[in-house]
Amino acid sequence: MNQDLLAITTLGALKSAGYRTAPVRIEMRNNLLKRLTGSERTLPGIIGYDKTVVPEIENAILAGHHMIFLGERGQAKSRIIRSLAGLLDELVPAVKGCEINDDPYAPICKFCRRQLEEHGDNLEITWLTREPRYAEKLATPDVSVADLIGEIDPIKVAEGRYLADEETIHYGLIPRTNRGIFAINELPDLTEKVQVGLFNLMEEKDVQIKGYKIRLPVDVIFVASANPEDYTSRGRIITPLKDRFDVQIRTHYPKTIEDEIAIMEQECSYPLRPELPLRVAPFMREILAHITFEARASNEINQSSGVSVRVTINNFEAVISNAERRAVMVGENEIVPRITDLPSLYASTAGKIELEYVGEDKKEEDLVERLINRAVLKVFDHHLKLDDLKPIIAYFGQGWGVEVSDMAPATEYLEPLREVPGLREVVERLGPFETPGLMAVASELIFEGLHLHQKLNKERQGGGRFAYHA
């Protein structure tokens, strides 16, 4: 079908083929209805929003609404906005040579209207893919009306055109996205002057450029994102612009550990090698997700700025990298992240959280350590019961101890598995751990859980080496 369309190069051929264009609202609506009818996902790759955000987006698209997404950082706002471009048609016709993607049936710019008058059905057309019909801009205070809407082009004036002539305009991003989707990230960061220009264009379809009133009836769906704190009467958004956005959709962080883990695994971009397979114990994934959940519930962290899902993703990559470094240095044949790799999260977590109170007694590293300990304890309690570990506790009570290290080969953990009564049985209860690396991480969880329950003492031996004893 696409090849057949590409063969059409004039307006007359387009008419003969029976092709009819539609406003971008109708186009997106029709494509969404096809997905809903075929039980396809509206927003592929977006996890955790199926019962909350996605239905609101579907309603907005069906109604042809401009949308603004409110949410803290790391809630997939930008990804959602970009995925909306998938609801545009794969190909649409436009007047060839037009700067603003004019519809050949109803051109809006002076150049294309003149071309239509001169050539009629011989008007040349081109076919646009989705990419040039989507544009986004990060709002910053230096973004101008010229950037978004347009500016008088002095070269065109020098060629003899009048200032008031529409053809003297050098079009900005929004007109160049005509018949598409235009997105603005962090909308309140625009200056008031630019915000006024936007709401005029969205509703009245006119704008003033250098004092000249210009009609720009562009066909654009406007989508924006903002932090909820900025999008209030006390923030930096002007009320008339708020009124122009038809719907306000509130995003959120994953509500379940399962969703957090699914996002973590989907977004992890760690460059693995086939000769060194990665094996991650399920409870290690749970610990990483719980660390982020604990951070989002902590009153020591500024929750208005949020705790991004990127914390979980980067932490996952950090423990993998520490495990790979160990595997390479000690000559192991698999990468298995362990509890002793969790201190590597200090670097990947600290820069992504903002302490509520900063002072000499408030250190990010101490807070991250507390978050890790709470996460490990929750996962330990979910999988194991202290009553089942009495033989292990009794063994340590006789004066025995074990050492663990983030640089110790997994084979060093095989001796405790043989010597400590009941340890192997508890490891097997955690999962079918058939390799030394998986047995090592299970052993570390048991020792650390007993320490956090104050059944064992833990001493740092230097570097990443620790000793557990009664």
The pLDDT tens digits for 363-381 are 788 899 999 999 999 999 9
Query: Edge to edge, what strands does the sheet with 247-250 contain?
Result: 134-138, 180-185, 220-226, 67-70, 247-250
Tell me: the pLDDT tens digits for 247-272? 999 999 999 999 999 999 999 999 98
Region 26-43 average pLDDT: 94
Compute how many other C-beta atoms are within 10 angstroms of the C-beta atom of residue 57: 25
pTM, 2 dp: 0.88
Region 300-306 average pLDDT: 86
Q: Using CA atoms, how far apart are residues 229 and 295, in angstroms rounded to an integer?
A: 19
More confident residue, 362 or 215: 215
The mean of the pLDDT values for the chain is 90
Please give the structure tokens belonging to residue 120. Answer: 């009629």
Instruction: Report the pLDDT value the prediction gives residue 281, as an integer from 0 to 100.
Output: 96
Instruction: Report the pLDDT value the prediction gives residue 210, as an integer from 0 to 100.
Output: 67
Cα torsion 25, 37, 68, 263: sign = negative
Decide if 49 contacts 83 (C-beta within 8 A): no
Instruction: Report the pLDDT value the prediction gives residue 64, as an integer from 0 to 100.
Output: 94
Tell me: the pLDDT tens digits for 72-124? 989 999 999 999 999 999 999 999 999 999 999 999 888 899 999 999 999 99
* Helices within 120-218 (DSSP H only): 145-148, 154-158, 173-176, 192-203
Please give the structure tokens belonging to residue 412. Answer: 């060093």
Question: With 90 as the cut, is the pLDDT of residue 19 above it?
Answer: yes
Return left, alpha or beta for 211; rule: phi > 0 is left, psi -120 to 50 is alpha, else beta: left
Instruction: Report the pLDDT value the prediction gives residue 162, as an integer from 0 to 100.
Output: 64
Decide if 168 contacts 83 (C-beta within 8 A): no
- The pLDDT > 90 percentage for the chain reads 71
Instruction: Report the pLDDT value the prediction gives residue 233, as an integer from 0 to 100.
Output: 56
Instruction: Report the pLDDT value the prediction gives residue 456, as an integer from 0 to 100.
Output: 95
Tell me: the pLDDT tens digits for 121-150? 999 999 999 999 999 999 998 999 889 988
With a CB cutoff of 8 Å and minimum separation 6, the contacts of 225 are 68, 69, 70, 71, 77, 78, 81, 183, 184, 185, 186, 187
Domains belonging to the chain, first-starting first, are 2-250 (3.40.50.300), 257-469 (no CATH)
Q: Using CA atoms, how far apart are residues 154 and 385, in angstroms rounded to an integer?
A: 77
- Cα–Cα distances (Å) from 255 to 62, 177, 252, in that order, read 27, 35, 8
Region 402-426 average pLDDT: 93
Decide if 161 contacts 168 (C-beta within 8 A): yes
Instruction: Report the pLDDT value the prediction gives residue 55, as an integer from 0 to 100.
Output: 97
Tell me: the pLDDT tens digits for 321-361? 999 999 999 999 999 999 999 999 999 998 888 887 766 56
Tell me: the pLDDT tens digits for 136-185? 999 998 999 889 988 877 777 667 666 566 777 888 999 999 999 999 99
More confident residue, 231 or 420: 420
Question: With 90 as the cut, is the pLDDT of residue 273 above it?
Answer: no
